[in-house]
Chains A and B, each alone.
Chain A
Amino acid sequence: MNKNIASLFGIGLLSLSLAACSSGGSQGNGAQSAQGASAGGAASGSAGTNAGSGPSAGGAGDAVAFDPNAKVTIVFSTFWPEDRFEEAKKKYEAAHPNVTIKLESVTTDDSHAEADLEKFRTTTNAAMLAGKGPDLLEMKELPMDSYVQHGLLVNLDEMIKQDPSFHKEDYFANILDNSRSGDGLYGMPLSFFLKGLAGDEDAIAKQGVKFDDKTWSWSDFAEDAQKLVGGTYPHVISTTPEYMLNWLVSDDYSFYVDEAGRKANFDSKSFIDLMEQVKKMGDDGIVGQGQPYFYPIQINSPGDYFTSLKGYLSDNMKLYTLPHGNDAGPGGYFQPYFTVGIGANSKVKPQAWDFLKFLISDQIATSPDRAGFPLNKNAYAKEVQQLKADGSAPSAKEGPLKGASVPVDDAKLDELESYLTAATHPVGYKPSQVQQIVLDESKAFFSGQKSAEAVAKLIQNKVTTYLNE
């Protein structure tokens, strides 16, 4: 009897250790068992202490009331060290002697960046799950959607609602509204880039093509492109067929991907037709890497707006709105630069919110060449004012203009502002998992190695797997 129990226990132990080594093998997986386990352990430890304060996610109940004289430390975590945060820390600490901002970042170099990034992600994930994460996080390198889904971030909408000193009209409301995910705003975009197309206005007019870039979708673009090909330039847009395909998929995204129903529709005839269409665009020269009518472009700052448009092939380049996906609706595209969230388990939420507000205030130093348009309209106005006062924007010494200054044009600046206020679609730093699968798999079709049907089937399988996880 005794021995039976002992041997049963032995079996349990043995199989446990077997299972443990079977999953401890690989890099990603090794981290998984260790991190997952430690996170689980710490989490169930802190569950008790947390129970009293109710559900922690989005709990901003104490947003406004806090003792301004209490000594606090706010931990602010970023992957890359960033000068503008150092500056902000110094300024803020000078104004609030009782607050210490602790900036945490990873010191790395090119050869280790990838490994360090992986480590940064897993440790931050584990810390967040365990309720021991930083108070403020810059989320460029972190899985923000997963954080939101698991209630690890504060809903900043609640903070805004309870804070009478926050005036929404001081900010680019379109950026603020469209940075929301799901039911709330979980990351504050400190600044943003504008995505668009730089096109040769004269060459386009010469072909007699007219379009309204405020309303055009990717299918409109594909249609107009037919009329442009063979004119002044050999190509219509400088890109690769894979990207063109993803753009066209975005036109009808809800047809191809049904996230709620966990279904994909990439093995449909319309997707195969779409692939053939894009391939034909490549064969016709619409899509190509040579000289085009349109370059996809990212505008980083008011100064950059002038130098970038002069830097391409023609003197008369104009900024156009990037065509939108039909499903997404009209509007331009922007990419958030520095998205900062507050950890749901932070003990100093009100103070963290106050510092976050400082980060998007117009007290932060501005310069028309600084990367990213500030979320704060007054800060943006200051940049524009200075640019007007300077009269010209200096270009980069290594750039195509070799450091020559570009004169500033007031009318064009107004135009820029109209683009900035019309940008409503956020673009992530990395393609989504579905986009990545389409990019990777469609290459074999466009290089003529596989049939459209075979590629469509592969994409369908992988996307289905992803949607059903």
Chain B
Amino acid sequence: MSRLRIRPFGEGTAALLFLAPSAIGFSVFYLIPFALGVLESFTDRTLGGSFVGLANYKALLASGSFRKAAANTLLFTGISVPLLIVLSLLLALLLNRSLPLRKWLQSAFTLPLVVPVASVVTVWQIFFDWNGTLNEWLHRAGAERIDWMQSDWSMGVLVLLYIWKNIGYDMILFLAALQSIPKDYYETARIEGAGALRQLRHVTLVYLTPAMFFVVLISIVNSFKVFRETYLLAGDYPYDRIYMMQHYMNNLFFSLDIQKLTSAATLMVGCIVVLAAGLLAFERRFRESME
């Protein structure tokens, strides 16, 4: 806080100047359009609309499909993000020690990040289709086949797809954080007789927390991005369980219902802001308690 004040005036201006290009770009492409969208969400139509207060929000909340989409999105994020964090952390811990083929394994896990979506989706489609590979295997094994994309399993498939795609990225973030924990801490802990589990709980996890906040935030955001794959995999009206917020918004867009669309977007951004602010506040408190 004090550092900011002491900093000479010129340096602040320079910083602003350097920030300007990206700030302008961000404003033009995101901030201003979004603000206009928020305004739009309080009017009754795009052309010559008049102010209607919260009518669009009321209509939105009255829509059964919106509630379904919100519940599904929440459920998906609630299941997939914790699972992803645990799995990628385990993987990072595993790959943080010397293993044969370590380098190879690391690249293998990050590979899904660079494979184009179209080819990923094709492979998943062939694999999980009603007449696809997985059901063929099940059939050969003498089991009943399962309609993966058209039953409650579809959520599982999406969680799998999401974890498969993001585990490498989260793992790299965790690895970087793990390597920045000073080795002395572990040595001290060992000298004082702490076992492996105790070291994990009281050294690794504690010093990993700042990175953890970041990873959680990014993972939540990425969990919204799974829509792209879902859309390509299951179309605009997928099985009930995987009908997400973005399906709803996408379908509204194509029926030109801009008012409801912008209200939905505003609500969603509101939730994300609250979530992000909460996480960051929590992180600040944590950091202060560490000092």
Number of interface residues of B (CB under 8 A): 64
Please pick, from B63, B222, B231, the residue contacting A469 in the complex, using a CB distance under 8 A.
B63
The answer, yes or no, to whether A319 is at the interface (CB within 8 Å) is no
Task: Report whether B280 and A11 are in contact in the complex, using a CB–CB cutoff of 8 Å.
Answer: yes
Given A17-B30, A462-B237, A150:B256 Cβ within 8 A:
yes
Give residues of chain B (236-265) contacting chain A, Cβ–Cβ below 8 Å: 237, 239-240, 243, 246, 248-258, 261-262, 265
- With A18-B272, A36-B37, A449-B130 known as contacts, the answer to whether A47 contacts B48 (CB < 8 A) is yes
Given A2-B4, A147-B256, A468-B63, residue A40 in contact with residue B250 (CB < 8 A): no
Closest to B33 in A: A37
The residue among A19, A31, A344 with the most chain B CB atoms within 10 A of its own CB is A19
Cα A450 to Cα B144 with chains together (Å)? 12
Check: B106 CB closer than 8 A to any chain A CB: no
Question: Which residue on A lies nearest to B248, using beta carbons?
Answer: A469
Rounded to whole Å, the gap between the CB of A264 and the closest CB of chain B is 11
A129 near B221 (CB under 8 angstroms)? Answer: no
A130 CB within 8 Å of chain B? yes
Contact: A16 with B30, CB < 8 Å?
yes
Instruction: For B272, list chain A residues within 8 Å (CB).
Output: 15, 18-19
Supposing A43-B46, A143-B254 touch, asked if A29 and B249 sit within 8 A by C-beta, the answer is: yes
Contact B273 A3 (CB under 8 A): no
- Residues 58-107 of B at the A interface (beta carbon under 8 Å): 63-66, 68
Interface: B47 (CB within 8 A): yes
Q: Is the interface of A mostly helix, strand, loop or mixed?
A: helix
Interface residues of A in 373-414 (CB under 8 A from B): none
Instruction: Say yes or no: B68 contacts A465, CB within 8 Å.
Output: yes
Decide if B8 is an interface residue (CB 8 Å cutoff): no
Q: How far is the CB of A267 from chain B (nearest CB, A)?
A: 12
CB pair B33 A466 closer than 8 Å: no
A207 at the interface (CB under 8 A from B): no
| Residue B228, interface by CB 8 Å | yes
B113: interface (CB < 8 Å):
no
Q: Knowing A468-B64, A468-B65 touch, does A46 contact B224 (C-beta < 8 A)?
A: no
Question: CB of B49 within 8 A of chain A?
Answer: yes
- Complex Cα distance A2/B65, Å? 43
Q: Which residues on B sit within 8 Å (CB–CB) of A16?
A: 30-31, 34, 269, 273
| Contacts known (A18-B276, A41-B32, A469-B65); A3 close to B4, Cβ less than 8 A | yes
| CB atoms of B277 and A8 under 8 A apart | yes
A345 at the interface (CB under 8 A from B): yes
Evaluate contact between A26 and B239: CB separation under 8 angstroms: no
B268-289 toward A: CB 8 Å interface, digit per residue (1/0)? Answer: 1100110111001000000000
A51–B49 CA distance with the chains assembled, in angstroms: 9
Q: Is the CB of A29 within 8 A of B39?
A: no
Judged by a CB distance under 8 angstroms, whether B150 is at the interface is yes
Q: Does B147 contact A (CB under 8 A)?
A: yes
CB neighbours (8 Å) of A146 from chain B are 254-257
Tell yes or no: B26 within 8 A of A by CB: yes
CB-CB under 8 A from A28, the residues of chain B are: 231, 250, 253-254
Known A40-B262, A43-B47, A345-B47; contact A450-B237, beta-carbon cutoff 8 A: no
Structural contact, B228 and A23, CB atoms closer than 8 A: no
The interface residues of chain B lying within 8 Å CB-to-CB of A450 are 147
A435 on interface, CB distance cutoff 8 Å: no
On chain B, the residues within 8 Å of A130 by CB distance are 46
Query: Bound state CA distance, A25 and B249, in angstroms?
Result: 13
> Which chain A residues numbered 110 to 159 have a C-beta less than 8 Å away from chain B?
125, 129-131, 143, 146-147, 149-152
Measured between alpha carbons, how far is A41 from B38 in the docked complex, in Å?
11
Q: Is there an interface contact between B249 and A143, defined as CB atoms closer than 8 Å? A: no
Interface centre among A8, A14, A23 (most CB of B within 10 A): A23
Nearest Cβ on chain A to B173's Cβ, whole angstroms = 16
B273 with A11: CB separation less than 8 A: yes
With a 10 A CB-CB cut-off, give which of B64, B147, B256, B268 has the most chain A CB atoms: B256
Q: Specify which chain B residues have a CB less than 8 angstroms from the CB of A468 in the assembled complex.
A: 63-66, 68
With CB as the reference atom, state the residue of chain A lying closest to B246. Answer: A29
- Interface hub of B1, B30, B68, B130 (most chain A Cβ within 10 A): B30
In the complex, chain B residues whose CB is within 8 Å of the CB of A23:
224, 246, 249, 265
A469 touches B251 (CB 8 A): yes
CB-based contact A41/B254 at 8 Å: no
In the assembled complex, the Cα of A241 lies from the Cα of B62 at a distance in Å of: 37
Query: Contact at A36–B253, with CB atoms within 8 Å?
Result: yes
Interface presence of A280 (CB below 8 A): no
Given the known inter-chain contacts A16-B31, A20-B30, please indicate yes or no for A40 contacting B37, CB distance below 8 A. Answer: yes
The residue among B32, B47, B251 with the most chain A CB atoms within 10 A of its own CB is B47
Q: Does A44 contact B (CB under 8 A)?
A: yes
Indicate whether A100 reaches chain B with its CB closer than 8 angstroms.
Answer: no
B227 at the interface (CB under 8 A from A): yes
Closest to B225 in A: A25
Q: Give the chain A neighbours of B276 by CB distance below 8 A.
A: 11, 14-15, 18
- Chain B residue nearest to A19 in the complex (CB): B269
**Whole-angstrom distance between the Cβ of B6 and the nearest chain A Cβ:** 13
Q: B40 near A: Cβ within 8 Å?
A: yes
Given contacts A11-B280, A38-B33, A469-B65, is CB(A150)–CB(B240) below 8 Å?
no
- Closest CB of chain B to A275's CB: distance in Å? 17
Report A2-13 CB contacts with B as 1/0, cut-off 8 Å: 110001100111
Name the residue of chain B whose CB is nearest to the CB of A466. B237
Q: Which residues of B contact A131 (CB under 8 A)?
A: 46-47
User: What residues of B have a CB within 8 angstroms of the CB of A22 in the complex?
Assistant: 221-222, 224-225
Residues of chain B contacted by A219 (CB below 8 angstroms) = none
Option from B43, B64, B250 in Cβ contact (under 8 Å) with A32: B250
Which positions 45-63 of chain A face chain B at CB distance < 8 Å?
46-47, 50-51, 55-56
User: Residues of B contacting A33 with CB < 8 Å?
Assistant: 33
Task: Specify the chain A residue showing the minimal Cβ separation from B274.
Answer: A15
The reply on A299 being an interface residue by CB < 8 A is no
A464 within 8 A of B: yes
Is A21 in contact with chain B by the CB < 8 A criterion? yes
**Within 8 Å CB of B63, what residues of A?**
468-469
B107 to chain A, nearest CB (A): 24
Check if B221 sits within 8 Å of A26, measured CB to CB: no
- Contact status B48-A56, CB under 8 Å: yes
Contact B37 A37 (CB under 8 A): yes
Is there contact, CB below 8 Å, between B47 and A47? yes
Q: Determine whether the beta carbon of A36 is less than 8 Å from that of B246.
A: no
Decide if B46 touches A26 in the complex (CB within 8 Å).
no
Smallest CB-CB A-B distances: 3 pairs: A37-B33, A26-B228, A22-B224
8 of the cross-chain contacts (CB-CB < 8 Å) are A15-B275, A16-B30, A22-B221, A345-B47, A454-B147, A458-B239, A465-B65, A468-B68
8 new A-B pairs (CB below 8 Å) besides A14-B276, A25-B225? A15-B269, A28-B231, A40-B262, A47-B49, A152-B47, A458-B239, A461-B240, A469-B251
